[in-house]
């Protein structure tokens, strides 16, 4: 599905000039109306407050302020224009622990380098088509970490390792309910 992105403002925060320019050119080719660039996290924060972008695309590893520190500041800044802005992190790190660390800082989408125009477009459209609700707690503000919603949920148990008795219609007649434990297959 093609989108009319001419009213979208995107902020790119990337310290590597060629990567910044490639990302900018791709966003412009997608039809993004305004693309603002910043050379580092500090300049990115200034541009964020000045332009109130609809999407932020930033690098993880930058001098002075990395992408995760930048994200935490955006999410926790009471004076900022929009702590709920979608943030797409582009990085060469794609190990599971790195993805979890980024998620735990409030990143909306993760884009592993090197990426194609198609994968960048898919991340941009992902934040448009399927915006994730935000969760706020004492020490976290960011997109809900659960990507999928289930319509089969029928009670208070939420995790695969939760144990619950089988409903009466599923219990074998010769076993009492206390002898039945659900096992994740």
Q: pLDDT band for position 66 (50/70/90)?
A: very high
Report the CATH number of the 9-143 domain. Answer: 3.40.50.2300
pLDDT at 142: 79
Q: pLDDT band for position 157 (50/70/90)?
A: low
C-alpha to C-alpha distance for 66 and 63, rounded to whole angstroms: 7
CA angle 79, 82, 85 (to 5 degrees): 145
pLDDT at 103: 85
CA proximity to 91, closest of 109, 71, 75, 114: 114
Averaged pLDDT of the chain? 82
Residue predicted with more confidence, 57 or 134: 57
pLDDT at 96: 84
Q: What tokens were used for 96?
A: 């599971």
pLDDT at 181: 45
- 15 exposure class (CB count in 10 Å sphere: 0-12, 13-18, 19+): buried
Sorted by where each begins, the domain ranges of the chain are 9-143
Q: pLDDT band for position 152 (50/70/90)?
A: low
pLDDT at 143: 79
C-alpha to C-alpha distance for 152 and 175, rounded to whole angstroms: 25
SS3 177: helix
C-alpha to C-alpha distance for 51 and 71, rounded to whole angstroms: 16
167: Cβ contacts below 8 Å, ≥ 6 apart? none
């Amino acid at each position: 599905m093609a989108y009319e992105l001419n009213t979208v403002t995107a902020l790119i925060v990337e310290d590597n000039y060629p990567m910044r320019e490639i990302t900018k050119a791709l966003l412009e080719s997608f039809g993004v109306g305004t693309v603002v660039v910043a050379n580092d996290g500090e300049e990115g924060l200034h541009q964020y407050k000045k332009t109130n972008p609809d999407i932020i695309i930033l690098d993880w590893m930058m001098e002075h302020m990395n992408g995760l520190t930048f994200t935490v500041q955006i999410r926790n800044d009471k004076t900022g224009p929009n702590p709920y802005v979608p943030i797409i992190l582009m990085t060469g790190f794609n190990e599971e622990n790195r993805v979890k660390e980024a998620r735990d800082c409030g990143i909306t989408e993760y884009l592993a380098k090197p990426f194609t125009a198609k994968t960048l477009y898919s991340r941009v459209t992902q934040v448009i088509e399927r915006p994730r609700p935000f969760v706020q707690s004492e020490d976290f503000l960011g997109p809900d970490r659960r990507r999928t919603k289930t319509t089969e949920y029928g009670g208070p148990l939420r995790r695969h390792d939760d144990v619950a008795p089988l409903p009466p219609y599923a219990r074998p007649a010769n076993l009492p309910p206390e002898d039945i434990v659900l096992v994740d297959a």
